[in-house]
Amino acid sequence: MAHHTLKKGYSNLVERLNRFPLGAPPSRLLYEILELLFSEREAALVAQLPIRPFTVGKAARIWKVGLDEARNTLEALASRSILLDLEKEDGSVLYLLPPPMAGFFEFSLMRSGGNLDKKLLSRLLENYLDQEEDFSKALFGGGKTQMGRIFVHEPAIAEEDSLHVLDYDRASEVIRSASDIGIGLCFCRHKKEHVGQACDAPQDICMTFNAPAASLIRHGAARRVDASECLDLLAQAYDYNLIQFGENAREGISFICNCCRCCCEAMNAARRFGVLNPIHTSNYLPEIDPEKCIGCGLCMKYCPVEAVSYDHVETGEGLPKVVLHEEDCLGCGICHRICPNGAIRFRERGTRIIPPLNSTHRVVLMALERGKLQNLIFDNQVLLSHRILGAVLGVLLGLPPVKRLMASQQVRSRYLENLSRKYG
């Protein structure tokens, strides 16, 4: 059935998903995925929910139902990890519909139990991600600010330089500072397993943190671990030459994926859409010592984005040397680990890359750059931060492109960071 003939509940849900900075372009495959995850009634109800976190009372008013009925519906959706239920310090609960990715597409596949046909879901998601180029481009492009960034392999940093590594650049510090830690199945490798294409890298190694982790743990999409076990899993990820790809923020980071070069959607996007800069790099770059390089080619084999190549200049052993293409390099640190002759060391990039303060800061920047800021400002005025941002940023919507670009630089200022810290 063509997607334009499908029932109104699903059509409304697609429209709702695409109000978020990271949406999901409509297609037949998307409607099939949504029909698998939502009943038509659920789709119609979720389509009415705000973009930002909301209370049971807010949902009840939107749906025009009683509190108990609204709570039962929200809890049913949260039990399947379609919604996140975020417990605040005072014991109250906020609900949130995450974007499709990184969000309920992945959480649905990660969750244990239930009667969801995960093989069918995997096939549909694989086809949607592979065939619908618009979705991948929207997910990993479309603006200067992206969803995720690379964390450098910490052992790749020389001891004398390690004191200069900031906490937000360290996966180990994200782990140590998290209030809750959940470990779930790697979405990408688990999906590939269901379609018969998975590699042998471990799957039970996807890391979530803080309030989102607590929600996923409650509903069987992740298992609770302490910081010590999570650090052991990080060391295991290093052993398997997995790349740490995490949320693009400095505070309250919600996830770190441990990605292989073959199955990972982020790494595939980096190779396919490199010109769009789909992933923010780490703050480090490899430096290859031509005197030590023996031209074995292992760094070329293991680089997730093919940022290393031969320059056809022979070494003393008759082998060509390798050269780095800095504009393509993610700064992950894999090449340092696998170099058999210690020819690669890591140094800081010339210009430090500073991620957004937190998820609120990141979402506002992404919305601004993708022309969706109005969806946040007029999102039922859910948060005080939105009312303030509406007054401050509303004028941006009418600016010509050049002036809007200049204004966007101001949005990145400490003023927005302070709002994000206070109200996000």
Confidence of residue 336 (pLDDT cuts 50, 70, 90): very high
Percent of the chain residues past pLDDT 90, beyond the cut: 51
Helices 118-131 and 28-37, packing angle to 10 deg: 150
pLDDT tens digits along 139-183? 776 778 889 999 999 999 887 777 678 888 999 999 999 999 999
pLDDT at 423 over 70: no
What is the maximum span of the chain, computed from C-alpha positions, in angstroms? 79
Residue ranges of domains in the chain, CATH in brackets: 140-276 (no CATH), 284-348 (3.30.70.20), 359-423 (no CATH)
Please compute the mean of the pLDDT values over residues 193-210 and round it to a whole number.
Answer: 94
* Average predicted confidence (pLDDT) for the chain: 84
* Residue 323: per-residue pLDDT: 84
* Residue 318: per-residue pLDDT: 57
Confidence of residue 337 (pLDDT cuts 50, 70, 90): very high
Please compute the mean of the pLDDT values over residues 301-313 and round it to a whole number.
Answer: 84
pLDDT at 185 over 70: yes
pLDDT tens digits along 95-142? 999 988 888 889 988 887 778 899 999 999 999 887 777 777 777 767
Lowest mean pLDDT among 101-110, 204-213, 241-250: 101-110
Lowest mean pLDDT among 225-234, 311-320, 402-411: 402-411
* Residue 351: per-residue pLDDT: 86
pLDDT at 371 over 60: yes
